Amino acid sequence: MNTLKTIHITSQDELPQVAKAVIEALGRRTVVAFRGEMGAGKTTLIREIVAQLGATDTVTSPTFALVNQYRGSHNRTIYHFDFYRIDDIREAYDLGYEEYFYSGEICLVEWPEKIESLLPENTIQVRITVDSDTARTFEIE
């Protein structure tokens, strides 16, 4: 049974509570799909999640590399995907997506719409709605 948690923020200063909610939603799941328009704040939220998981790496969107890897606390690996630039789902196969998605490590996925059919069934969905320049609504399912 999926439960939906909705969080409204009016400032980026409130982002840590959203990141905490996403991390709490993980449980035994490891793949998180971030949905939202360009500029909604997907990478910014992922940066906060990665920091809360103990990584000190600089988090940038892997737009051209498709995947970045960060090292969190307890030597945990965190993968950050950005599928915005792929034109064909075969590019995800070429990347070896299944080795990441089924590795047991955390996978944070931007633009999951491009690889929808490849997402594991138990993927956490995070929808970001832009309410204003500074306000966002996050739905975590």
Q: Is the pLDDT of residue 2 over 80?
A: no
Residues of the chain above pLDDT 90, percent: 91
Number of domains in the chain: 1
CA distance 48 to 72: 12
In angstroms, the Cα distances linking 27 to 2, 9, 123, 135 are 12, 24, 11, 28
Average pLDDT of the chain to the nearest whole number: 95
Owning domain of residue 121: 5-140
Q: According to the model, what pLDDT value does residue 69 have? A: 96
For residue 1, pLDDT beyond 60: no
- 35: domain CATH number is 3.40.50.300
Enter the pTM of the model: 0.95
Average pLDDT (46-64) is 92
Contacts of 16 (CB under 8 A, 6+ apart): 48, 52
47, pLDDT greater than 80? yes
pLDDT band for 62, please (50, 70, 90 cuts).
confident
Query: What pLDDT does 103 receive?
Result: 97
